[in-house]
Structure 1
């Protein structure tokens, strides 16, 4: 596999700026946000220039108790082929449960236990068999820790690589996040993991509030994260490094400056380099020589599923926090999930904040709606359900705003034109709820 070099996360909001960045070797796209048959023109132009594109998935949930969804695997593979990608990447996380059916809308940490590792390894093998290109998995940032863990982060990642041959996507910003939030030593992780399996590296910014580090991808990369990148570089020459920025996008010059800072951190002399990509190390092979692994028993998946369901239900449905978890951190995580959900719904339905009087009233109304109402069917349905919730309760208070919200809902819900006053619509919505 060829080296990647230095890149940036491609987002529609900064597509034109990315196209002008000097010395850009590659970009990463959120796999779920693109359609293979309708690739954005800016992305196609980058590919024509020889800039590589790597799909980065966020919805597989390979750390979950269920086996990977064949349709999601097929979609990820389809995007890799459409983009001519040398690999795809995903996360070591769970994102949903099926009993009960709950969606986190976020990457949540898996317990570092033998049960969870066995399930993850089997899920990774299923994914590898289905994908047309190699798979790399990312260590995630976390606000919470599981009680009763049996392995360190380094041990967990090392055994995952040894048992599956999967590549690693090391996010040094996530290492810093977990140092602040969970007391984990980034150096110990870097010393323990098999860096010969490194596919590439993520670098991103965040912010600390009340002793909690939030991995926002909406702030400049802090010096402490660049120091971790340099520490990783002292151990191995990474095949690729990528700057992630997902929100609050800065001017083009600031993006270019952050890429320069990354190149500087990667240079032993401390000066930026224009070193071009060369050949990458050979892929890691499973320690078992590729022999078929024993299937994970259903009782193991059931045990893991029960634990994950209890955690996710506490975070999104208001059920009691499971024993052994830090209640304060669980509350912080629950608020963070609602805030992220509100942000994605606002991007999916940008008219809603305007109808409700601005970002602050919108977020307050969404927080009241989301309490005890987990997301079940994606963000578009969530936006419609939010509007229905408001209309049933005679909100917003301003009649003109209610009329605008009603018209918005009717247009997007595909409802049959209704006769009668607005209370008729609210009554129908109430019965449907």
Structure 2
């Protein structure tokens, strides 16, 4: 048995819809982005929900378990603290990498600002398994990991998504968070059949399920979490439900939040879908799902690792993965050439999507900037970010963007420029650096990139 508790029907808790979530009927549990929570100062809304008996699950987005580096100890400690503060029965993260570079590649660390797919190769699987075991050992509750949506495919992949997930579960005993919207996204963007993936993966290891909306543009499906759930996504949910009764199903919405009545309507559609697809059992599992493989014994892990080349083989796998991920991320955010075997057109789509998301985040964390710059904010930021990778977080990014504009003598409107100067000075220092200082910084950055 996988020990996952019955969760029921849930919705992603976000500050923008906190009141709406509290007012919805039939919500058994919520999921909150872990990095947005402070254990000692939980939002009042979550405190009230917990007092009503609503389960809260922290959902991490920054560990980068699919990256070549081992998980950061502080990030793991922070995730553990959030789980304990919320009294959560489990925590979740993603099968993705979010940064690359560093000592393994002797290059600067680059941040994606987004979840990027790992190659489905033996190297990547080996690294991912070790990273998940490190996380499992550091967390006070079980871990479940989520399949992600992707715009791009890695060349030379050795496994399908279902096969990759099945072996991951076999090696680590980790639980799965299956996002049916992501399965649909990968069907449109990568030609992968959701039914085949569900046939191949161990559905009995599912901890819960995500359902979310998106939109198709020019033959590419964008997993936006900002649009209504579509019928094809509900069809994938029905496919999953025909195979297993998941312990929980959750509606995700991250932007362009609709009225509470529309959220309630989407929750009703989800309930109806899983009920109609059930075959004589409850719509959502009433207890722990049976039959999920437990974590393999240490001796079994050792045998498999020895077959893969032992400790030296593991480090070599990390180095190979590090080089591949750094080359891809550099092409996406720093304008370097596309690695061999990738679809250059699709890489450009992904690159534009990353930059657009970066602009959206800056507009949220520094809302004064769009107000000061007006309609010029977005084109100015996109031009700025085109060859300037995100390195040290979004708040620093916002300051660097403002600094860049001021040194260039923008905005042209003097009143707006004074407001931008004041905004920068209140957050970064007495005055923007002089142009000579900026040129020195640019030259140093160029030397580092070489």
TM-score (norm 1): 0.94
Instruction: Kindly state the Cα deviation for residue 276 of structure 1 after the two structures are TM-superposed.
Output: 7.8
Corresponding residue for residue 75 of structure 1: 78
Cα deviation, 1:37-67, whole Å, max 9, x if unaligned, reads 0100011000000000000000000000000
- Within 5 Å, give how 1:375-390 maps onto structure 2: 375-390=390-405
How far has the Cα of 1:98 moved from its partner? 2.9
> What is the rounded CA distance, in whole Å, between the counterparts of 1:17 and 1:116 in structure 2?
41
Provide the C-alpha distance between the structure 1 equivalents of 2:130 and 2:6, rounded to a whole number of angstroms.
28
Matched, 1:410 2:413: no
> Whole-Å Cα distance in 1 between the matches of residues 282 and 32 of structure 2?
23
Following superposition of structure 1 onto structure 2, how do residues 11-26 of structure 1 map, counting pairs within 5 Å? 11-26=14-29
The SS at the match of 2:184 is: helix
What CA distance in whole angstroms lies between the structure 2 residues aligned with 1:309 and 1:227? Answer: 36
| Matching residue of 2:173 | 165
The structure 1 residue matched to 2:36, chosen from 26, 33, 37, is 33
Q: Structure 1 residue aligned with 2:314, among 297, 300, 310?
A: 297
1:8 counterpart SS class: strand
1:54 correspondence with 2:57: yes
Could you say if the C-alpha distance between residues 269 and 194 of structure 1 is closer, same or farther in structure 2, counting changes exceeding 3 Å?
A: closer
Distance 1:373 1:319 in 2: 12
SS in 1 for 2:275: coil
Three-state SS of the structure 1 residue aligned to 2:292 is coil
Residue 327 in structure 1 maps to residue 330 in structure 2:
no
Alignment of 1:149-188 (within 5 A): 149-188=157-196
Is the aligned partner of 1:10 residue 2:18? Answer: no
In 1, the alpha carbon distance for the partners of 2:183 and 2:326 equals 26
Q: Secondary structure at the match of 1:137?
A: strand
Partner of 2:231: 223
Aligned to 1:233: 241
Which residue, out of 311, 317, 326, partners 1:309? 326
* C-alpha displacement of 1:357: 1.4
DSSP-derived class of the 1:297 partner: helix
Contact 1:92 1:140 in 2 (8 A): yes
Unaligned runs of at least 5 residues, structure 2: 306-310, 443-450
Q: CA separation in 1, counterparts of 2:320 and 2:170?
A: 24
| Segment of structure 1 superposing worse, 58-67 or 95-104 | 95-104
Structure 2 distance, partners of 1:252, 1:382, is 34
Give me the CA root mean square deviation.
Answer: 1.9
Query: TM-score, normalized by length of structure 2?
Result: 0.91
Query: Do the aligned partners of 1:29 and 1:55 also contact (CA within 8 Å) in 2?
Result: yes
Corresponding residue of 1:136: 144
Structure 1: segments with no counterpart, 5+ residues: none
